[in-house]
């Protein structure tokens, strides 16, 4: 699965999460992003704000029996998650 997930985390004044919305990707990726962001901790300095984060998912390279996943951060708010494809099982 590939695509760009656009997430918004609404924070209460104390920095606790009020809600998370994710758009732009398949339900499986949407759920994974929402769960990860819901478990994250946010600074009280961000309290009362809406934090926008993008996750770019890509499948790259040749199929491998033991594929690697690479994660990089592009400031100010973009994460790139690239994985190698699995070799198909017979």
Reported confidence tier of residue 49, pLDDT bands at 50, 70, 90: very high
What pLDDT is recorded for position 90? Answer: 80
Rounded mean pLDDT of 76-90? Answer: 94
Report CA Rg, the chain: 15
Six token digits for residue 29: 């990726």
**Nearest residue to 67 via CA among 51, 42, 52, 87:** 87
Rounded mean pLDDT of 8-18? Answer: 94
The b-or-e profile of 35-50 (16+ CB within 10 A means b, else e) is eebeeeebeeeeeeee
Alpha-carbon span 15 to 64, nearest angstrom: 42
């Amino acid at each position: 699965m590939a695509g760009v997930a656009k997430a918004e985390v609404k924070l209460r004044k104390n920095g606790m999460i009020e809600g998370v919305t994710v758009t732009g990707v398949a339900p499986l990726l949407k759920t994974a992003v929402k769960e990860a962001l819901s478990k994250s901790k946010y600074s009280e300095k961000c309290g009362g704000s809406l934090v926008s984060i993008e996750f770019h998912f890509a499948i790259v390279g040749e199929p491998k029996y033991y594929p690697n996943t690479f994660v990089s951060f592009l400031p100010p708010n973009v994460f790139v998650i690239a994985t190698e494809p699995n070799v198909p099982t017979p």
